[in-house]
């Protein structure tokens, strides 16, 4: 028996050595020792964390703020892998990345801030999305990559992989590419685990489980990301190598008016527009529609495409991004086309005209209202991000700040019925051209545009 015990122990030790060796070869080290919370500290809220069963358990506490278990050490570039499971499908959590702590924040309760890989087991299904905790709110809602929303499986441990190399953050859930953000801030900071604040007594005591936390900080090689995933690139007027390979092109280079000309002439307007500080901007003229510089359109015409753009409005502003502009229609003011409305809903009177709010921000102007939550509309003077996707089958989607706000099918009966009761009813086959220019509207208000990019779809 003694010899058998010694033999089994030797095998176990050998297996342990092989496991450690394999881990060492891969370059990963354990972020958690499996026994206690040495090397970690709790910040901000009152939720409970403890080491048990070889992992870390977080327990929600009623009326506590967001609570974080964070590393005492800060990390710059790394690849992080772990497994996580939530006890409730209403228990929100996340993994803090290169994050920071302000002791004076939250009225002295302390504020953790920084990028977070979301864990969201609710029906919203945003696990793997990237949230900027305590600062900028959502950077990458998972509506931007809907095909990855079902990657998280409730009731079981899910494998999370996070890659932070340089200015790029990428996430995977169970091996499925989720979110891709290129940022301009936070080159290092702590890593943290979150137990979200709750105010529902039914969620008190619900647990979140973390295990197999491993990190690699040397000899990092970026993992290839799945194709056709939208990138949130916060660097102004630039494209990453991934975006270029994926077919994206800048419509505005950040320095010149190249690729654009007046909707009424072959050249760029001599007045009414300016290219400055990485922006292409409408110069206000007391709200007159196309009376100063006039609209500008792309030199090229587009059919099916994915286009995104950032815009910043002055108070009371009105503008728009139009697509399938053919210039065949004769008008006195702005050129005609399907329009993604850019508007200060709170001040400009156009927001109250039309039907059911179909002239408000991000709406398909005079046709379909955008369904917006106030938290996803950035205030006047801040930058918002619009996105228009026109699929080859003529299905069209509008997004605002990463959230889908409307969709429709160009040329469908429902679409034509809407046109028939709109201002566009006087133009035959409005909005159904095979291709058209993209237009930035001069409606006489100060509006800035940047990060205008497009990908043609086949």
**What pTM does this model have?**
0.91
Q: CATH classification of 237-456 is 3.40.50.720, yes or no?
A: no
Bridge partners (DSSP) of residue 276 are 279
> Which pair of tokens denotes residue 344?
């200060």
Angle at 371 between CA 366 and CA 374, to 5 degrees: 120
CA dihedral (426, 432, 437, 442) in degrees, to 10, reads: 40
> 3-class DSSP state for residue 142?
helix
Summarize pLDDT for 145-161 with one digit per residue, the tens.
Answer: 999 999 999 999 999 99
pLDDT at residue 229, rounded to an integer: 98
Q: Is the pLDDT of residue 8 over 70?
A: no
pLDDT at 270 over 90: yes
The pLDDT tens digits for 380-423 are 999 999 999 999 999 999 999 999 999 999 999 999 999 999 99
Interval 62-101: pLDDT, tens: 888 889 999 999 999 999 999 999 998 888 899 999 999 9
User: Can you tell me the distance from the alpha carbon of 296 to that of 290, in angstroms, rounded to the nearest whole number?
Assistant: 10
Which whole-number Å values give the CA distances from 118 to 128, 130, 134, 234, 287, in the listed order? Answer: 5, 6, 14, 19, 42
Q: Which of 216, 79, 102, 103 is nearest to 161 (CA)?
A: 79
Distance between CA atoms of 212 and 407, rounded to whole angstroms? 41
Residues 6+ apart with CB under 8 A from 214: 23, 28, 29, 30, 31, 80, 81, 82
Q: Which position has the higher pLDDT, 271 or 15?
A: 271
Q: How far apart are CA 329 and CA 337, in angstroms?
A: 9
pLDDT of residue 290: 66
Tokens of 84: 């996580």
Strands (E), 76-149: 78-86, 93-102, 111-119, 130-133, 137-140
Distances (CA, A) of 51 to 16, 35, 95, 138, 204: 21, 6, 17, 30, 19
Mean pLDDT of the chain: 92
Domain borders along the chain are: 27-216, 237-456
Q: State yes or no: pLDDT of 339 exceeds 60.
A: yes
Query: φ and ψ at 337, to 5 degrees?
Result: 180, 170
329-338, 415-424, 437-446: least confident range: 329-338
The structure tokens 């005079």 sit at 366
Please report, rounded to a whole number, the percentage of residues in the chain having pLDDT higher than 70: 94
pLDDT in tens, 108-128: 889 999 999 999 999 999 999
CATH for 27-216 is 2.60.120.560
Position 287 scores a pLDDT of 65
27-216 and 237-456: identical CATH topology? yes
């Amino acid at each position: 028996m003694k010899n058998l015990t010694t033999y089994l122990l030797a095998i176990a030790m050998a297996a342990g050595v092989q496991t450690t060796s394999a881990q060492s070869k891969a370059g990963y080290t354990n972020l958690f020792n499996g026994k206690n919370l040495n090397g970690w500290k709790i910040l901000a809220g009152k939720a409970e964390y403890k080491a048990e069963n070889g992992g870390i358990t977080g327990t929600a506490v009623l009326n506590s703020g967001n609570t974080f278990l964070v590393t005492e050490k800060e990390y710059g570039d790394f690849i992080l892998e772990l497994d996580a499971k939530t006890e409730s499908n209403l228990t929100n959590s996340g993994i803090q990345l290169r994050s920071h702590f302000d002791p004076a924040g939250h009225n002295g309760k302390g504020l953790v801030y920084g990028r977070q890989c979301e864990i969201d087991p609710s029906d919203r299904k945003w696990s793997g999305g990237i949230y900027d905790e305590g600062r900028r709110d959502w950077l990458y809602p998972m509506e931007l990559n809907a095909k990855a929303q079902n990657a998280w499986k409730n009731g079981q441990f899910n494998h999370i992989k996070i890659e932070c190399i340089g200015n790029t953050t990428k996430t995977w859930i169970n091996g499925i590419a989720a979110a891709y953000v290129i940022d301009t801030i936070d080159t290092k900071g702590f890593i943290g685990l979150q137990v979200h604040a709750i105010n529902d007594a039914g969620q008190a005591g619900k647990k979140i489980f973390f295990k197999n936390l491993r990190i690699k900080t040397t000899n990092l090689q970026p993992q290839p990301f799945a194709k056709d995933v939208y990138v949130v690139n916060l660097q102004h007027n630039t494209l990453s190598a991934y975006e270029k390979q994926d077919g994206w092109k800048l419509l505005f280079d950040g320095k010149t008016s190249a690729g654009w000309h007046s909707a009424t002439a072959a050249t760029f307007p001599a007045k009414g527009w300016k290219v400055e500080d990485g922006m292409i901007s409408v110069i206000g003229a007391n709200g007159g529609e196309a009376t100063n510089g006039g609209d500008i359109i792309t030199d090229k015409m587009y059919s099916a495409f994915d286009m995104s753009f950032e815009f910043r409005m002055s108070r009371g502003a009105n503008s728009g991004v139009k697509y399938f502009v053919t210039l065949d229609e004769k008008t006195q003011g702005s050129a005609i086309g399907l329009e993604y409305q850019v508007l200060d809903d709170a001040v400009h009177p156009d927001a109250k005209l039309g039907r059911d709010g179909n002239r408000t921000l991000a709406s398909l102007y005079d046709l379909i209202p955008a369904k917006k939550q106030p938290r996803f509309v950035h205030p006047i003077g801040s930058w918002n991000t619009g996105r228009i996707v026109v699929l080859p089958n003529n299905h069209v989607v509008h997004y605002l700040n990463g959230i889908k706000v409307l969709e429709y099918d160009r040329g469908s009966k429902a679409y034509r019925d809407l046109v028939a009761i709109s201002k566009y009813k006087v133009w035959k086959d409005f909005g159904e051209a095979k291709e058209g220019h993209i237009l930035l509207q001069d409606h006489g208000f100060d509006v800035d545009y940047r990060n205008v990019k497009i990908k043609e779809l086949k």
